Amino acid sequence: MNTKIPFVTKEQVLDMVKKYPTPFHIYDEKGIRENAKAVKEAFSWNKGFKEYFAVKATPNPYILNILKEYGCGCDCSSLTELMMAQALGFSGNDIMFSSNDTPAEEYVYARQINATINLDDITHIKFLEDVASLPETISCRFNPGGLFTISNSIMDNPGDAKYGFTKDQLFEGFRILKKKGVKYFGVHAFLASNTVTNEYYPTLAKTLFETVVELKEATGCDIKFINLSGGVGIPYTPDQEPNDIKAIGSAVHEVYDEILVPAGLGDVAIYTEMGRFMLAPYGGLVTQAIHEKHTHKEYIGVDACAVNLMRPAMYGAYHHITVLGKENDICDHTYDVTGSLCENNDKFAVDRILPKIDIGDYLFIHDTGAHGFSMGYNYNGKLRSAELLLKENGEVIMIRRAETPKDYFATFDFSDILKDVDYNAGK
């Protein structure tokens, strides 16, 4: 079995915790930059290519500004994500708004900042027109239905997914939008999440490209871009081979030349909306072992919990764990690694074979750079952790402070009742 190597050492963490107590998420600037550059190069054959980073994966302004340097835009799914993108200087064509069951005020704001709206349903055409007006350029999300079983992924059953137009609705929707004055069109689809295969994007591209050729012939619409969305995954387990973005880009190029170019669509731009692939391997959750328990099983309790990383509790997802300083020790102990929530699924690992863990050891939980911090919550009154950035020069900076009890109580409008809260309790 291959291994996963943390991008921080025990010595670095011991230095960090003098200033930033665990748990915390930390990101690797060098890795993020190298990967963003590789994605840009892999699709450089397409002159209109743009990666719209899925903000929901890692909604941190420092991260977004790094990606912006490589020409990335933002894929937003809510009002606050749109507001963040706008505040950071992303504008107009730099922002894709892909939302579902969308409130009116979110469409209104998207129109105000001229974001490219990606409609999720045919009924949203009239809804958008009524609440905000239709733009000159619009995209529609296509759901072909059926099963999509190219690899073992989180979501591979489009027919059971709440997203997108059916094929008949897509054709009808384009006709309606063209009649209402929309000039330029895009098509978007998302069929599976976290695919660890170089075949996903080319397979999806073939489906979309063929559909777009039919759309052009049937509706006469001017289709400017095709959005392959996200779904390109990462190897969470050490035995998996990572995706090769260069090979993926090359294979999409082949399908593009095979299907779109002969149909007179050789100037169509290719967009992607990757979150996990862009960031997941370049983030880790650092936590300290604070308890051990010997009952029906062997447990190690850490100072992080599912509010810091929900994926194992929510999906049973695997995240590799390295005991810092014991990378070369024999793995001869079997543990459940748990947090402190009042829920039995609050486990980062179940029956995981690891080296002997001692109280005070620091654990590095891998691949939390996407859908890690961002899925945090406040159950049990738990507070979300800080986010740190390991800069290319080795410096560590805080890019989001940890929440405090004062933050937790800030939304209550009962100042008279809570006037005696001691925000420094326990310190």
Whether pLDDT at 426 is above 80: no
The dihedral built from the CA positions of residue 182, 172, 187 and 212, taken in this order, carries a sign that is negative
* 136 domain-assigned: yes
Q: What is the pLDDT of residues 166-177, one digit of tens each?
A: 999 999 999 999
Q: How far, in Å, CA of 343 to CA of 337, rounded? A: 13
Q: Read off the pLDDT of residues 329-371 as tens digits, 9 standing for 90 and up.
A: 999 999 999 999 999 999 999 999 999 999 999 999 999 999 9
Q: Do residues 306 and 274 both lie within one domain?
A: no
158: pLDDT strictly greater than 70: no
d(CA 33, CA 35): 5
* Claim to verify: residue 276 and residue 338 sit in the same structural domain: no
CATH of the domain at 217: 3.20.20.10
Task: Tell me whether residue 4 is in a domain.
Answer: no
Residue 6 lies in a domain: no
Question: What is the secondary structure of 253-296 as a DSSP string?
Answer: HHHIIIIIGGGT-TT-EEEE--SHHHHGGGEEEEEEEEEEEESS
Last residue of a domain, one of 251, 280, 309: 280
Phi, psi of 103, deg, nearest 5: -65, 150
Domain boundary among 231, 249, 280: 280
Helix, strand, coil abundance in the chain, percent, nearest 5: 35, 20, 45
Q: Is residue 427 part of a domain?
A: no
Residue 154: band (very low, low, confident or very high) from pLDDT cuts 50, 70, 90: very low
Percent of the chain with pLDDT over 90: 86
- The rounded radius of gyration (Å) of the Cα atoms in the chain is 23
Note the pLDDT of residue 213.
Answer: 98
Rounded Cα distance, 216 and 232, in Å: 27
As a whole number of angstroms, the distance between CA 120 and CA 187 comes to 11
- Percentage of residues in the chain having pLDDT higher than 70: 92
Is the residue at 103 inside a domain? yes
pLDDT of residue 241: 92
Three state DSSP letters for 296-360: CCEEEEECCCCCCCCHHHHHCCCCCEEECCCCCCCCCEEEEEECCCCCCCCEEEEEEEECCCCCC
DSSP tag of 120: -
Segments forming the whole domain that contains residue 200: 28-280
For the residues 12-22, what does the mean pLDDT come to?
Answer: 98
CATH code where residue 320 lies: 2.40.37.10
Residues 95 and 215 in one domain: yes
pLDDT at 2: 57
- The lowest-confidence range among 60-74, 99-113, 135-149, 215-229 is 135-149
Q: Are 28 and 286 spatial neighbours (Cβ–Cβ below 8 Å)?
A: no
Do 274 and 310 belong to one domain? Answer: no
Residue 72 CA to residue 52 CA, distance in Å, equals: 6
168-180 burial string, b = 16+ CB within 10 Å, else e?
ebbbebbebbeee
Mean pLDDT over 79-84 rounds to 96
Q: Is the pLDDT of residue 6 over 80?
A: yes
Q: Are the C-beta atoms of residues 51 and 274 closer than 8 Å to each other?
A: yes
Q: Locate tokens 């029906």: which residue?
A: 296
Q: Is the pLDDT of residue 266 over 90?
A: yes
d(CA 207, CA 246): 21
For residue 217, the one-letter residue type is: E
Q: Please give the pLDDT value at position 419.
A: 64
For residues 329 and 154, the model is more confident at 329
Tell me whether residue 74 is one of the annotated catalytic residues.
no
pLDDT for res 192: 78
Is pLDDT at 1 greater than 60 in this prediction?
A: no
Pairing of strands 321-323, 396-400: unpaired
For residues 30 and 341, the answer to whether their CB atoms sit within 8 Å is no
Q: Is the pLDDT of residue 156 over 60?
A: no
Give the count of beta carbons closer than 10 Å to the beta carbon of residue 31.
17
Name the region of 90 (left: φ>0; alpha: ψ -120 to 50; beta: rest).
Answer: beta
Do 241 and 222 share a structural domain?
yes
Mean pLDDT (whole number) for 152-156: 46
Domain count, the chain: 2
The yes-or-no verdict on residue 152 having pLDDT over 70 is no
pLDDT confidence of residue 287: 98
- Looking up tokens 């978007």 gives 188
| Residue 368 pLDDT | 98
Residue 275 in contact with residue 233, Cβ under 8 Å? no
In a domain, 45, yes or no: yes
Return the residue matching tokens 């107009």.
92
What single-letter DSSP state applies at residue 21? Answer: P
Average pLDDT over residues 212-217: 97
Catalytic residue among 72, 74, 140, 342: 342
CA atoms within 13 Å, Cβ hemisphere of 91: 2
Those residues with Cβ within 8 angstroms of residue 73's Cβ, 6 or more apart along the chain or in another chain: 50, 51, 52, 53, 90, 93, 94, 95, 96
Of 139-148, 387-396, 402-411, the range with the lowest mean pLDDT is: 139-148
Q: Are residues 60 and 182 in the same domain?
A: yes
- Who's near 172: CB < 8 A, 6+ residues apart? 122
Residue 237 lies in a domain: yes
Give the pLDDT confidence of 86-114 residue by residue, as tens digits: 999 998 899 999 998 999 999 999 999 99
| 330 and 204 share one domain | no
* Rounded-to-integer distance, Cα 330 and Cα 355, Å: 6
pTM: 0.93
Residues 32, 84 share a domain? yes
Asked whether residue 345 is assigned to any structural domain, the reply reads yes
With tokens 């593009």, the residue in question is: 256
Q: Are both 111 and 51 inside the same structural domain? A: yes
pLDDT at 153 exceeding the cut of 50: no
Asked whether the predicted pLDDT for residue 322 surpasses 50, the reply is yes
384 and 313 within one domain: yes
pLDDT at 184: 98
* pLDDT of amino acid 191: 79
Handedness of CA 297, 303, 305, 311 (dihedral sign): negative
- CA–CA separation, 106 vs 248, rounded Å? 34
**In whole numbers, what is the pLDDT of the chain averaged over residues?**
93
* Pair 235, 106 in one domain: yes
- Same domain flag for 109 and 258: yes
Which of these three, 280, 311, 334, is where a domain ends? 280
Cβ of 146: how many Cβ atoms within 10 Å? 11
Contact by Cβ (8 Å): 149, 101: no
- Residue of 304, 283, 310 whose CA lies nearest to 385: 304
